[in-house]
Chains A and B, each alone.
Chain A
Amino acid sequence: MGPTARLLRWHATGGPIGNRINDDGMRWLQDAQWGFVVSPFIQALKIGTMSNQVPRSLTGQSPIALLGPTVRPRQTLKRRATDRLLNRENHMTHFSKIVAAAIVSAAMGLTSAPAQAETPPDTLIQAWQIDDIISLDPAEVFEFTASEVLGNSYQPLVGYNVNDVSDIFGVIAESWEVSEDGKTFSFVIKPDLQFASGNPITAADPVYSLQRAVKLDKSPAFILTQFGLTADNVEQMVRQTGDMTFELEMDKAYAPTLLLYCLTATVGFVVDKELVVSHEADGDFGYEWLKTNYAGSGAFTIRDWRANEVVVLERNDNFSGDAPAMMRAIYRHIPEGSTQRLLLEQGDIDIARNLGAEEIVALSDNPDIKIENGIKGSIYYMGLNQKNEALANPKVAEAMKYLVDYQTIADTIMNGKVKVHQAFLPEGFLGALNDNPYALDVEKAKTLLAEAGYADGFTVTMDTRNTPEITAIAEAIQQTMAQAGIKLELIPGDGQQTLTKYRARNHDIYIGRWGPDYQDPHTNADTFARNPDNSDDAASKPLAWRNAWDIPEMTAQADAAVLEKDAAARAEMYVALQTEHQQVSPFVIMFQEIEVLGLRNNVDGFIIGPSFNDNSFRNVTKSE
Chain B
Amino acid sequence: MSVSPANTGGRWRALPTYGLKAGKLIATVAVTFLGLLVVTFLIGRVVPVDPVLAVVGDRASKSTYDAAYIALGLDKPLYHQFFIYLKQALSGDLGTSVLTKKPIIEDIARVFPATLELATAGIILGTLFGVPLGVWGAVRQGKLPDQVIRVVGLVGYSAPIFWLGLLGLLVFYAKLQWVAGPGRIDISYEYTVTQTTGLLLIDTAMQGQWDAFRNVLAHLALPAVLLGYFSMAYISRMTRSFMLAELGQEYIIAARVKGVPEWRIIWVHALRNAAVPLVTVIALSYAGLLEGSVLTETVFAWPGLGQYLTNSLQNADMNAVLGGTLVIGIIFVGLNLLSDLLYTVLDPRVRRRT
Q: Report which A residues bind B (CB closer than 8 A).
A: 16, 21-22, 25-26, 29, 36, 39-40, 43-44, 47, 55-56, 58-59, 63, 66-67, 69-72, 74-76, 78-79, 82, 85-86, 88, 91-92, 95-96, 98-99, 102, 106, 109-117, 119-120, 123, 125, 131, 134-135, 142-143, 217-222, 225, 291-292, 306-310, 312, 330, 332-336, 338-339, 342-343, 345-346, 348, 494-497, 499-501, 503, 517, 539-540
Known pairs A85-B256, A116-B180, A117-B186; A540 contacts B61 (CB<8 A): yes
> B280's closest neighbor in chain A, by CB?
A59
Provide 30 A-B residue pairs closer than 8 Å at the C-beta atoms, listed in order of the A residue.
A22-B166, A36-B167, A39-B163, A43-B158, A44-B158, A58-B281, A75-B244, A88-B262, A91-B266, A92-B139, A98-B132, A99-B132, A114-B215, A131-B307, A217-B67, A218-B64, A292-B101, A336-B301, A338-B166, A339-B166, A339-B299, A339-B300, A339-B301, A342-B170, A342-B182, A497-B48, A500-B48, A500-B49, A503-B53, A540-B61
Whether A113 lies near B214 (C-beta < 8 A) is: yes
Q: Is the CB of A217 within 8 A of B163?
A: no
On whether the beta carbons of A123 and B301 are closer than 8 Å, the reply is: no
Interfacial chain A residues near B18, Cβ < 8 Å: none
Residues of A within 8 A of B163 (CB): 16, 25, 36, 39
CA–CA, A494 and B54, complex, Å: 12
Classify the interface of chain B: helix, strand, loop or mixed: helix
For residue B36, CB closer than 8 A to chain A, the reply is no
Interface centre among A115, A120, A308, A335 (most CB of B within 10 A): A308
Residues in B246-281 with C-beta less than 8 Å from chain A: 247-248, 252-253, 256, 262-263, 266, 280-281
- Contact between chains at B190 and A308 (CB < 8 Å): no
Given contacts A21-B160, A66-B238, 16 further A-B contacts (CB under 8 A): A29-B167, A36-B163, A43-B160, A59-B284, A70-B240, A70-B241, A71-B244, A82-B256, A98-B132, A113-B179, A134-B100, A217-B61, A306-B110, A306-B303, A310-B187, A333-B301
CA distance A303 to B174 in the complex (A): 31
Interface residues on B, range: 35 or more
Contact, CB under 8 Å: A58 / B181:
no
> Complex Cα distance A143/B187, Å?
25
Q: How far is the CB of A354 from chain B (nearest CB, A)?
A: 12
Question: In the bound complex, do residue B315 and residue A339 qualify as a contact, i.e. CB atoms below 8 Å apart?
Answer: no
Partner of A72, one of B161, B183, B248: B248
Does residue B155 face the partner (Cβ distance < 8 Å to A)? yes
In the bound complex, how far is the Cα of B57 from the Cα of A221, in angstroms? 12
Name A334's contact: one of B160, B252, B287, B301 (CB within 8 Å): B301
A222 to B61, CA, bound (A): 6
- Mark interface residues in B144-174 (1 if CB within 8 Å of A CB, else 0): 0100001000110111111100110110111
- Chain A residues contacting B173 (CB-CB under 8 Å) are 342, 346
| Chain B residues engaging chain A, CB cutoff 8 angstroms | 47-50, 53-64, 67, 98-102, 107, 110-111, 125, 128-129, 132-133, 136, 139-142, 145, 150, 154-155, 157-163, 166-167, 169-170, 172-174, 177-183, 186-188, 190-191, 214-215, 217-218, 221, 225, 230, 234, 237-238, 240-241, 244-245, 247-248, 252-253, 256, 262-263, 266, 280-281, 284-285, 287-288, 295, 298-301, 303, 307-308, 311, 314-316
Q: How far is it, in angstroms, between the C-alpha of A92 and the C-alpha of B167 when the chains are bound?
A: 33
CA–CA, A497 to B299, complex, Å?
A: 24
A499 — which chain B residues lie within 8 A by C-beta?
50, 53, 58
A496-B237 in contact (CB<8A): no
Do B159 and A40 touch (CB < 8 A)? yes
Q: Which residues on the A side are within 8 Å of B174 (C-beta)?
A: 342, 345-346
Contact B187 A71 (CB under 8 A): no
Residues of B within 8 A of A95 (CB): 132, 136
The distance in angstroms between the C-alpha atoms of A464 and B138, with both chains bound, is: 50
| A91 touching B303, Cβ below 8 Å | no
For the complex, what is the distance from the CA of A332 to the CA of B182, rounded to whole Å?
10
**Residue B166 contacts which of A25, A43, A218, A495 (CB distance < 8 angstroms)?**
A25
Taking a contact as CB atoms under 8 Å apart, the answer to whether A111 and B238 are in contact is no
Tell me whether B140 and A78 are in contact (CB under 8 A).
no
